Amino acid sequence: MGTQLVPLPEVERLSASVIRILGGNPGKVSSGDVSKRILGTKWLTALHGALHSSLYKVRYPHALPYRGLSSDTPPGTNTYLIGRGRQRILIDTGQGEPTWAKHLQSVLSVEQATVHQALLTHWHGDHVGGLPDLQRLCPGAQVFKHHREPEDKYTDIQDGQVFRVEGATLRALYTPGHTEDHMVFVLEEEDAMFTGDNVLGHGTAVFEDLTTYLASLHRMRDRVQGRGYPGHGAVVESATARITEYIQHRQQREDEVLRVLRYGKLDVAAGEPEPEQRQAWTPLELVRQIYVGVPENLHLPASHGVSLVLAKLEGEGRTVQADSGAWKLAEKRSAL
């Protein structure tokens, strides 16, 4: 998956109805599936070119080029202000950084608008942490989130629920995977999708359950033809193509795990016979075979993603886990 990482403006109008406001919280390397192409990316050189157009600087004088990234730090959280009239919808609130609240206030002032409804894609702190600032700036805003726990204080989002403001119709889709409560939102006027953290503008996503995540990716792909507005990273011009990439990447990882379990190595010649005896592998041992060239300090987070692949295969009856914690192919279903 070779999408180039790019620095992003802290505030940017993406379409007639969508303004992106960065959360001001530089992210961390994904702990679920370490994408090899992220490693060693030359961020600092690219940052020198991260300037707004002169027109946008006039409209939003406090919007600065995105700053504060180290050479191995992906972009932080994207939040989106949606609509064209006085009442707007906000998707996600960032982590609670003061710069985000400052930029949101500036944009609302210029647009002569207020946040009517706030929709949260999921419960993670880098998406809900700005709620106190939002409630201070827009005390009348109603906050919606799909319930994860009974004590959640927000208004529930139902699968298929529609939210409307002038210039924008958003349809909610329940898409668990990254988290159990994850929602995405289809902007019907653009046939675009706010993908949350299920699909990112760079790299691959962290997920809790692979079987559930893949089902959600297929559902998302079937419901969008236009852009993807991700929870982190740049706009995805073809959401369908990116989601297909994600599905194919997950299948590639699954095939690699099965190949090592079956042959004891990743590189297998055509027609090579299977060994008479197969060993059991821990997730970390599988990582050392599959993630060749990835620094050792990233092996442990990568092993989490491999563990989720193994759990999916176990649910399908294709792998078994020994008492030692190591994994091997199930005897009756050893073929790829």
Residues designated as active site = 126
Pairing mode of beta strands 319-321, 327-329: antiparallel
The alpha carbon torsion through 214, 251, 203, 238 (nearest 10 deg) reads: -70
**Neighbour count for residue 201 (Cβ, 10 Å):** 22
For 191-212, give the secondary structure using H, E and C. Answer: CEEEEECCCCCCCCCCCCCHHH
**Neighbour count for residue 188 (Cβ, 10 Å):** 13
3-state secondary structure of 119: strand
| Cα separation of the two ends of the chain | 23
The alpha carbon torsion through 255, 207, 199, 173 (nearest 10 deg) reads: 120
The angle at the Cα of 169, spanning 232 to 220, to the nearest 5 degrees, equals 50
Q: Angle of helix 239-263 relative to helix 283-290, nearest 10 degrees? A: 110
CA-to-CA dists, residue 168 to 37, 81, 91, 187, angstroms: 36, 11, 13, 7
